[in-house]
Structure 1
Amino acid sequence: MPSAIELIVDGYVSLQDRRALDDLHMQRRKLAAGLKGRTGFDFQTTVEQIEKDIIVIEAGLARLDGAAPS
């Protein structure tokens, strides 16, 4: 069963909405960076999930790049 982020990315890819994927990518990167900079609580599990999301988003961006007409 695909994860929520996989379904979201698949939707954006099918719509060829690179801007939405770029925005999602940037949001996840900022979120990970912000959590890595915090102290007082262990955010490692959350950061790992966000990094997995980033990998899925980057794969979606690569699919869009591959689908672009040459």
Structure 2
Amino acid sequence: MKAIEQIIAGYVSLKNRQALEQLRDHRQHLLDDVRTHSVPGFRPSVVNETLAEEIELIEGALARFDEHG
């Protein structure tokens, strides 16, 4: 299990929706920064993919909160 999955599972078990939302927002901010700031010689594709995957995992966890009211 990846570290982000453990963090998400912890927040879910604690029913801490706010922490998940903050984590998602932070990852989204990082993704936006990587996409808008180019650094010569740096290829952000791996970082983009990782952050997008993490955001997707967080969104999935948040959806479970919505399903269970």
Whole-Å Cα distance in 1 between the matches of residues 46 and 26 of structure 2?
Answer: 18
Whole-Å Cα distance in 1 between the matches of residues 32 and 12 of structure 2?
Answer: 25
Q: What's the CA shift for 1:67? A: 2.0
Q: What's the CA shift for 1:14? A: 1.0
Structure 2: segments with no counterpart, 5+ residues: none
Structure 1: segments with no counterpart, 5+ residues: none
Deviating 4+ runs (over 2 angstroms): none
- Identity of aligned pairs, percent? 36
Q: TM-score, normalised by structure 1?
A: 0.89
Per-residue Cα deviation, 1:23-60 (whole angstroms, up to 9, x for no partner) = 00000000000001121221110111000000100001
One-letter code aligned to 1:67:
H
Higher relative contact order (CA 8 A, sep 6+): 1
